[in-house]
A and B are shown apart, each in its own frame.
Chain A
Amino acid sequence: MSRIFIAALGFLMMAVAPVTLADETCMSPYMAKIVGQEDYVYIWTLGMEGVGDGEDKLVTVDVNPDSKTYGEVVHSLSVGGRNEAHHSGLTDDRRYLWASGLDTSKIFIFDIYTDPAQPRLHREIDDFVAKTGGIVGPHTNYALPGRMLITGLSNNRDHGGRTGMAEYTNDGDFITSVWMPTDDNLQGAVKSGNYADGYGYDARALPRRNVLVTSSFTGWNNYMMNLGKMMGDPEAMKRFGNTVVIWDLHARTPKKVLDVPGAPLELRCAWGSRSNYCFTTTALTSKIWLIYEDDAGEWQAKAVADIGDASKIPLPVDISISADDNHLWVNTWNDGLVRLFDISDPHAPEQVFEKRIGEQINMVSQSWDGERVYFTSSLLANWDKTESGGEDDVQYFKLYNWDGATLTPQFSLDFVEMGLGSPHQMRFGAHALYGKAPAKTGHDDMAAR
């Protein structure tokens, strides 16, 4: 317990989110954070046919080295089917974890505070498409005060990339939805370049600047298609997002559409109280882009670094910014590498480290102090490799320690061998967030191995 320390930035638990947040360094400056040792990592895991029960599940791994069950799966909660489990996010009070499915558009709300070692399903939202007026593929689950912002990837009219965002109360009741700006309907936004595609993916808020930033990926037709088939379809390959949108956060109205060609995915904003910028990476063009407010108060986008050799399609996926805004971890799915960029000058990132983690590396989460870095594999069910090209596991959860120069492996779990599935997004949990001490012994309901 003494090793757990919850930051009191704000009053211990202040809101916003986060939230998709891939990790502890991805939250609001005022959201409760685990700045010491996390107890658990909650992994939203895609079900795989023929692996265990085949269902999507929330997998809880004990990551506290003082625990007797350190490095073990201590709980697994299946949700009854496959939904294309993808991203998850915490509510502003960190009591609930929202986890969504890109195929069925279902959202599962897990109670993680009653017993942080054993999450329970609190509520299931199965009418997202109807309630939102046709948004398909809930992706980012991002906490705003007393509510969750859910970004979509698609729509129910043509299952393409035009989509919107929805808001729900923390209880799971629908509030409202808004569509992304398009050439047909800019909704008052300024189109600053060649694109206003209406696509969506991630979202981050900078409340003190009244800014919401969104990125863009692709629609259901593509993300549910076999990867090889899609890559061979020139028309399908045209249907990727090329935009980042700057919104009036308070009014939820789009202000400016920025050209960021090549599917800008994860967004991570700087922590500094006067740092008005965010990073994203483009999956198809393999670049780091800076989204920033210039000296005149205008929001701009510019490519600031290459990630590997773009001609080899490294396919950057998840990124993670350090708490001091000096470093950015970048995973590339195709070559299995994690790269570390020095971003102390956000306009000129420099790669300072790289290491192969494993086949189809996807998500990365780091502890607040940056000393522990977690990785999972799995991108999408129909894009993932099913067989290893070498000695690697194809679906894994791995922990490394980072000392500023070297990533040292601590443990690795093979999610296929354990009958779990394809691990995707990770969120951290700690007993101390809820005024509780961890159990002194392990739990009886050890999950499927």
Chain B
Amino acid sequence: MRQWLIGLLGWCAVSALAAPHQHEPPVVLAPGYEDLQFEPPSAGSYQLPSMGEAADGLILNTLGNAGRLHDYLGDKATVLSFIFTTCNDVNGCPLATYVMSGVQKAVLKDPDLVDQVRIVSFSFDPEKDTPSVLGRYGDQFRAEGFDWEFLTTASEDALRPTLDAYDQWVIRDYDEEGNYLGTMSHILRVYLIDSDRRIRNIYSTSYLHADTVVNDLRTLLMQ
């Protein structure tokens, strides 16, 4: 895991060096980087009540084609994660991408899941995460043939309604002259969305773990 982490942080290194900010380094790695420290409830033995409709929004895919987020929701159980590629907090977006890689690995091994699951990583930095940048980022993590989509938007104006709809609060960091530093503070949220486009779970840093997410995916597909 540590090598994987170093690789992911390497991706962010330019941003990290260029934009040191006032935040202290994390002192505790999130549970998602370790083996799960408990026996999860068995798939299908619990409920995942709906938390409401998963919103739509404008997107660009890695080819630069315009579309809508709902084009990627509704036909499969989907794990939706908001990230940005220059994120340099180990317990933020790198954690999300690390866990999504773990989900991908587990799903690929499960013939009951492999055609029923999609991962969507959605950038909330349209300025830096252009389709081509996001495409290169995604190539680092997406396994051959796996349905892991990387989406961005054309502009802040196109992005904002989607962030608002998903209650994804983001603070952009600026210097004293008002120049954007390229870093953001946000609350990590990963959404589990069923094939009827309903949000069935939300994970944050202390809850996000590949085993838990896969367990929930199995639970969704058993109902």
A residues in contact (CB < 8 Å) with B: 5-16, 28-30, 32, 92-93, 95, 145-147, 167, 169-171, 173, 175-176, 207-210, 248, 250-253, 273, 434-435
Contacts and interface: CB of A to CB of B under 8 A. Distances in A.
Given A30-B204, A173-B52, A176-B49, A10 B41 contact: no
B92 interface: yes
22 contacts: A9-B26, A10-B205, A10-B206, A11-B186, A11-B187, A11-B188, A12-B89, A12-B171, A12-B185, A13-B187, A14-B91, A14-B204, A29-B28, A32-B187, A145-B203, A146-B189, A147-B202, A169-B51, A175-B49, A175-B51, A209-B37, A253-B41
B193 to A, nearest CB: 13
Given A176-B47, A250-B41, A434-B171, A14 B185 contact: no
B169 interface: yes
B40 interface: yes
B186 A13 contact: yes
Contacts of A434: 171
A167 B28 CA distance: 28
Contacts of A29: 28, 206
Interface string B197-211: 000001111110000
Interface string B16-55: 0000001111111011000001101100011101111000
Given A13-B186, A30-B91, A170 B167 contact: yes
Contacts of B189: 15, 145-146
B38 A5 contact: no
B151 interface: no
Interface of B: 22-28, 30-31, 37-38, 40-41, 45-47, 49-52, 87, 89, 91-93, 167, 169, 171-173, 185-189, 202-207, 212
Contacts of B37: 208-210
Given A175-B51, A435-B185, A208 B31 contact: yes
Contacts of B52: 169, 171, 173
Contacts of B169: 13, 93, 95
A428 to B, nearest CB: 18
Contact of B87 (A11, A14, A32, A171): A11
Contacts of A93: 167, 169, 187
Given A15-B204, A95-B169, A169-B52, 18 more contacts: A6-B23, A9-B27, A11-B89, A12-B89, A14-B187, A15-B188, A28-B206, A92-B204, A93-B169, A145-B203, A145-B204, A146-B51, A146-B204, A167-B49, A171-B52, A173-B52, A175-B50, A207-B31
